[in-house]
Amino acid sequence: KAGVTQTPRYLIKTRGQQVTLSCSPISGHRSVSWYQQTPGQGLQFLFEYFSETQRNKGNFPGRFSGRQFSNSRSEMNVSTLELGDSALYLCASSLEGRDYGYTFGSGTRLTVV
């Protein structure tokens, strides 16, 4: 079966701009989680969506937001980009979330210049 698909794979943006990243989960998976990976902070949880509702949120500023559509596809948005937002953004899907049966995508590499 198809895995978790994240688009685009690479992105370069300028400070102050906004960006939208997309994640298509495995068919049938209703939970989508987002993680940020940086060399300095490591892997950090951003938020989780389940059935179009944000169920859990990490400790990130309000510039980071997300949503989930009825087909379980998810987007995350970062507004007013800062240099420190440069990171690999990973999406993970699972059937229910609480089963911890996560499958990760290959990520979107965001570079802010």
Partner 1 sequence: AQSVTQPDIHITVSEGASLELRCNYSYGATPYLFWYVQSPGQGLQLLLKYFSGDTLVQGIKGFEAEFKRSQSSFNLRKPSVHWSDAAEYFCAVGISNFGNEKLTFGTGTRLTIIP
Residue ranges that bind partner 1, judged by CB under 8 A: 4, 33, 35, 42-45, 48, 55-56, 58, 90, 92, 97-98, 100, 102-107, 109
Specify the residue, 81 or 89, whose C-beta has the smaller distance to partner 1.
89
Specify the residue, 7 or 18, whose C-beta has the smaller distance to partner 1.
7
CB of 26 to partner 1, least distance (A): 13
Specify the residue, 6 or 85, whose C-beta has the smaller distance to partner 1.
6
CB of 45 to partner 1, least distance (A): 4
CB of 47 to partner 1, least distance (A): 9
DSSP for the chain, written as a single string: ----EEE-SEEEE-TT--EEEEEEPPTT--EEEEEEEETTTEEEEEEEEETTEEEEE-S--TTEEEEE-TTS-EEEEE-S--GGG-EEEEEEEESSSTT---EE---EEEEE-
